[in-house]
Amino acid sequence: MARIQTEYRSQGLEVIAVNLLLSAPLDYWRQYWLRVGGGDVVYAQDTRREAVRELRIQTAGATVVIDRQGRIVWRDLYATPYVELQAAVEKAL
């Protein structure tokens, strides 16, 4: 997350890491991701399960890339390998 955010922030990329685990408070979850290299991204909690419904997320760790028009251009059920994520981001920008 941190690498892709750093490389593409100047082009308008905003990484939002959404906590889907209702049992984990946002700050606890954010601190965990910072310890494992999550980096300077936006951390959010989906307490009403809206992201799950709207983005059709089925698992924690899913990756969704949305372009500037709000269209989903990439979806992966799990954490996406960097090269694939980079290609999806470039397509979205």
For residue 61, is pLDDT > 90? Answer: no
For residue 89, is pLDDT > 90? Answer: yes
> Mapping DSSP to helix (H, G, I), strand (E, B) and coil, where does residue 92 land?
helix
| Beta strand segments in the chain, E | 16-19, 42-45, 63-66, 72-76
Fold of 2-92: Glutaredoxin (3.40.30)
pLDDT digit string (tens) for 5-47?
899 999 989 888 888 888 889 999 899 888 888 888 888 998 8
Tokens of 1: 């997350």
Alpha helices in the chain (DSSP H): 2-8, 26-35, 50-54, 82-92
pLDDT digit string (tens) for 45-54?
988 989 889 8
Q: Is 48 exposed, middle or buried (0-12, 13-18, 19+ CB in 10 A)?
A: exposed
Average model confidence (pLDDT) across the chain: 88
The full set of domain ranges for the chain reads: 2-92
